[in-house]
Amino acid sequence: MSAQLWSDEPTHLDLLSFDAVAKTVVQAVLDDALDPVTVGVSGAWGSGKTTVLRLIEDELAPQPRTDATVLVISTDPWRYDPGVGAKETLIGEVLSAVAAELARKEQPGQIRSRARAMLITLRRRVDWAKALQVAAKTSLTLQLPSVDDLTSLINIEPSSQDADATAPPSRGLEEFRSEFCTLMESAELSHLKRVVVLVDDLDRCLPETVVDTLETIRLFLAVPKMAFVVAADEHRVADALRARFPDPASTQQAAGERYFEEPASLYLHKIVQTTVPLPTLSRFDTEAFLVLLQLCQRLPDEELAPYIAACVRLRREKGLLDDLATTVNGNDISAELAFASRMTPILYEKLQGSPRRIKRFLNDLRVRQSVAGHRGILLEADIVAKLMVLEKLLPDAFTTVLGWLARGELRSRMAKLEAAAGRPAPEPQPAQGTGPSPDDAPSTGEQNPAPDEDETEPVTFEDELIRWAKLSPSLGPVDLAPYLYLAAAFSGEQLLDAGLPGRLRDIAANLLSTSRFDQHRVIDADIRALGDDDALSLIEYLGRAGRDRPAEQSAAVRGLVRIVTAYPATIERATRLLQSVPAGELEPATILALPAGSPAFRSVLEHWKTHAPADPARIVRTLEHALDTGSRL
């Protein structure tokens, strides 16, 4: 995957086949039997409501500027100036758009029309209402507005062309609806078939703004030729309305009475005649969305359009993307299809079919992969995605896995978790070397033939961990430690082994450090002062770290050698732990850190050689060199 991120802004490209929703809404707002009309487009956060509004705008825009013009006005109450009321702001935007339409139709030098005079009167009403809003708000802080403030808002000084200078100013919004209706029926606006107001982000607003916006639509602007499309999460809008219209059944005044529908929903349904819900993404939609998202970053719109059309057809005919690669010629999209196929099971199950969540997850994935790659951590995208599902969506389970890493149990616990999830064990790799002697058990080439004693004990896992482990791909043979360390650093988690006594943690940290200076800070006297029990605890900790954390492997082996030298009684446990280090993950520095002159350590080298894979061959060559050097010693 490239490092390029996807924009979270709405788009005019229909990657989700929302054109069906847009066309349905357009049919409703242009239906003469529904005049005026308010249609809701309802969906959860990130479901694509704003994109649907863009598609509706595109669907209406091609209407020719003839005798049946459709005027489209986009508004966003979430961005309204909090110092001015939502009523006045919304009405002002509508009047400004109508004024621009009148100016477009007027001929140069034409005498001011009756519609223009009515429009000026209405705008003066709004200006006066704004002034009252400012006065009310500032009086609450005991700071009355100045005369200049009110004058700039009321704007009662008309120009010679726009109004009668002797006419008194129109105050307030009284009679606004009837005057607005007259304006819309005027001959100068007879060419307008509809004025369609697209209202976005209402579900983000404070309850006062929600109520004021809906009341403005219902009480002031809902006249013939007017249509409104309100894109919002219907449930969140209802939550805002409850602050103004509480359910009386929840009070003692009406304890014995219960409405069939609560007042907030009744109020909303009184204003919004019908609601078109946005469907969540199906499994097919998720996979198609992933493919198209990737393609839109490397193909121009004209080359992307055939793929969008092909996805629409395949959704209707088969519900499978298998034929997409052969449907459109000229581009190799095998990489995009393979990526989408791997990612779909995870994202479909965990992100609730939300397009925005999918985009954000993919952006997080690319950022995490980029940071990991710069730190030398190279993992496939689907593996990183599965780990991010654990990290982002299952935080308790993620903490459990980090605990396994801290205690040096990651490899064994993951193997048991994979088995509990029904995952088959990875195929054994062919061994390279002299092979076992006839007296030995036959070699299976397995990577970890010498398990710890505690690995034979039964382990139970939480249901959510098992369910996560079932997701593709399998993580059994993958070294997860570097990524988990990075993820822990991002989340602020500290990887401390609760089973390691506090008095030993500084010694263990220095012995496992990648800095030789830190390793030498633990002097031989410190090791001799440990005592038998603490020495065995460190042997356990270092042995598990060397097995589960390849980056600390050679440091762990050097620390083991130092402790075994001081406490020979620990040699058997140390040998068993060393044999559990996968031979295929050995580093040359690890092999050379083991003194082959010691019979016990020589047996470890021979064990590794027996189970070393053919590739990379450098492991076998290094083992042979170490064994040969030990023989000469």
Give, in order, the Cα–Cα distances in Å from 142 to each of 82, 114, 137, 138, 145.
Answer: 18, 42, 9, 7, 10
Higher pLDDT, 502 or 605: 605
pLDDT at 455 over 70: no
CA–CA dist 508, 535 (Å, integer) = 11
Q: How confident is the model at residue 230 (pLDDT cuts 50, 70, 90)?
A: very high
For residue range 44-56, what is the model confidence (pLDDT) as tens digits? 888 889 999 999 9
CA–CA dist 94, 90 (Å, integer) = 6
Q: How confident is the model at residue 41 (pLDDT cuts 50, 70, 90)?
A: very high
Sign, Cα dihedral of 405, 407, 412, 418: negative
Mean pLDDT rounded to a whole number for the chain: 79
What pLDDT, on a 0 to 100 scale, did the predictor assign at position 157? 42
The answer for residues whose C-beta is within 8 angstroms of residue 543's C-beta and 6 or more apart is 408, 556, 560, 573, 574, 577, 578, 580
pTM of the predicted structure, to 2 decimals: 0.68
For residue range 488-542, what is the model confidence (pLDDT) as tens digits? 777 666 565 656 777 888 888 888 887 888 888 889 898 999 888 889 888 888 8
What pLDDT, on a 0 to 100 scale, did the predictor assign at position 445? 38
CA–CA dist 248, 254 (Å, integer) = 6
For residue range 304-347, what is the model confidence (pLDDT) as tens digits? 888 888 888 888 887 788 778 766 766 788 888 888 888 888 78
What pLDDT, on a 0 to 100 scale, did the predictor assign at position 97? 92
| Cβ density class 26-50: b for 16+ within 10 Å, e for less | bebbbeeeebbbbbbbbbbebbbbb
Sign, Cα dihedral of 442, 447, 453, 458: negative
Mean pLDDT, rounded, for 547-554: 79
For residue range 387-438, what is the model confidence (pLDDT) as tens digits? 888 888 888 888 888 888 877 788 888 888 988 888 766 554 444 444 433 3
What pLDDT, on a 0 to 100 scale, did the predictor assign at position 269? 81
Q: How confident is the model at residue 29 (pLDDT cuts 50, 70, 90)?
A: very high
Identity of the highest mean pLDDT range in 43-52, 258-267, 488-497, 621-630: 43-52
What pLDDT, on a 0 to 100 scale, did the predictor assign at position 24? 93
φ and ψ of 74, to 5 deg: -100, 135
pLDDT at 73 over 80: yes
Q: Which residues on adjacent β-strands are paired with residue 41?
A: 231, 276
What pLDDT, on a 0 to 100 scale, did the predictor assign at position 394? 85
pLDDT at 26 over 90: yes
Mean pLDDT, rounded, for 130-146: 59
- Mapped onto helix, strand or coil, the DSSP state of residue 108 is coil
Tell me if 612 sits within 8 A of 623, measured CB to CB: yes
What pLDDT, on a 0 to 100 scale, did the predictor assign at position 482? 76
As a whole-number percent, the residues of the chain with pLDDT over 90 amount to 14
Strands of the 274-277 sheet, one edge to the other: 69-75, 192-199, 226-231, 37-42, 274-277
Q: How confident is the model at residue 380 (pLDDT cuts 50, 70, 90)?
A: confident
Mean pLDDT, rounded, for 573-597: 84
Lowest mean pLDDT among 28-42, 104-118, 366-380: 104-118
For residue range 523-538, what is the model confidence (pLDDT) as tens digits? 989 899 988 888 988 8
What pLDDT, on a 0 to 100 scale, did the predictor assign at position 263? 76
- Mapped onto helix, strand or coil, the DSSP state of residue 39 is strand
Give, in order, the Cα–Cα distances in Å from 122 to each of 136, 181, 521.
Answer: 21, 11, 83
Q: How confident is the model at residue 552 (pLDDT cuts 50, 70, 90)?
A: confident
